[in-house]
Amino acid sequence: MDAWLDGRTGKRRRRRWRRRRRGGGGGGGEEEEEEEEEEEEEKEKEKEKEEEEKEKEKEKEKEKEKQKEKEKEEEEEK
């Protein structure tokens, strides 16, 4: 079920369809290259997502620190 939600099953179906469409033993090398390229693209996308998540976490931490500083200043003023 998780694979279906992620869309992984669709990619597998597309790859199978390409193999059937091209057929023959001569086109096997091309299919392997395409699969490798797709896997590399997926890895790059995952890395980008991880970097974005890290940046968001850093921003959240900075905001928390700013809020703490503001709270301290307000307490000092009182």
Instruction: List, for residues 50-67, the tens digit of each pLDDT value.
Output: 999 999 999 999 999 999
Query: In the structure, what pLDDT confidence band is assigned to residue 37 with cuts at 50, 70 and 90?
Result: confident
3-class DSSP state of 23 = coil
C-beta separation of 18 from 10 below 8 A:
no
Contact call for residues 9 and 3 (beta carbons, < 8 A): yes
Domain count, the chain: 1
Q: Residue 48 corresponds to which tokens in the numbers above?
A: 């980008």
Domain around 43: 2-77
pTM above 0.75, yes or no: no
Residue of 73, 70, 11 lying closest to 37 (CA atoms): 11
Whole-number Å distance between alpha carbons of 36 and 62: 39
pLDDT confidence bin for 68, thresholds 50/70/90: very high
C-alpha–C-alpha distance, residues 31 and 23, integer Å = 10
